[in-house]
Copies of this chain bind each other. A is one copy, B any other.
Amino acid sequence: MTLPETQPVFDESFRECFEKLLQWRRDVRHFKTDPVPEDVLNRVLSLADMAPSVGNSQPWRIVQVEGLERRSAVMEAHTAANRAARESYGETEQGKAYRSLKLAGLREAPVHLAVFVDPNPEQGHGLGRATMPETLAYSAVGMIQTLWLAARIEGIGLGWVSILDPIRTSCILDVNPSWSFIAYLCLGYPEKNYDAPELERKRWQARTPLSDRILKR
């Protein structure tokens, strides 16, 4: 692909579509089992890889989890962590609400990606992270958010599974023991598309006004 010689201008139509992209990006837990074509997945991963990173270190490590035994083990790990979480809510109204939620689409999603961060990458030569080493993990998260948007453009949903023990998950996936686990992502075509979060539709938690989160100094 040839790069434009001058910077691009983003017109009104692009802006409107970008806003729709944000409105319709969802954390998806209901997937069709249809496979995601390899070239589409690779395109989405290439776009995600253009995310910023501290010192240009690109510290994310992406594991495509294909082995059925490993997938089963991750599902069991999720079930265990979810059981513990469910019990912590007890026999309250909230506990009942929690039990009614589907919080992961691990069984149906055709693509499983685990994201790790290398906590000491040579790339970047340490720049920008002396006082805040957590910026390496944050770089991996910026990559994930870019992946989320790039996938949605292709009609692919993404669900971020965080109800997992990070150490257990790292062991299952047998990666470099120095890496830290950031996220387990399910990708696939969603059963349905929505412009509101599932947790809002299911009345667990609605979004609140931005003004609650901004202050001046």
Contact = CB atoms under 8 A, between A and B. Distances in A.
A160 B124 contact: no
Contacts of A131: 81, 84-85, 162-166
Copies of this protein in the assembly total 2
Given A81-B131, A131-B162, A49 B141 contact: no
Interface residues of A, number: 101
B210 A45 contact: yes
Contacts of A137: 134, 138
Contacts of A27: 52
Contact of A55 (B65, B145, B205): B205
Interface string A87-121: 01000001000100101000000000010000000
A27 B51 CA distance: 10
A56 B206 contact: yes
Which residue among A131, A132, A165, A197 has the maximum number of chain B CB atoms within 10 Å of its CB? A131
Interface of A is mostly: mixed
Interface of A: 1, 3-4, 7-8, 10, 13-15, 17-25, 27, 45-47, 49-52, 54-58, 60-67, 70, 81, 84-85, 88, 94, 98, 101, 103, 114, 123-132, 134-135, 137-138, 141-142, 144-146, 148-150, 152-154, 160, 162-166, 173-175, 182-183, 193, 195, 197, 199-200, 204-208, 210, 213-217
B206 A138 contact: no
Contacts of A65: 217
Nearest to A11: B17
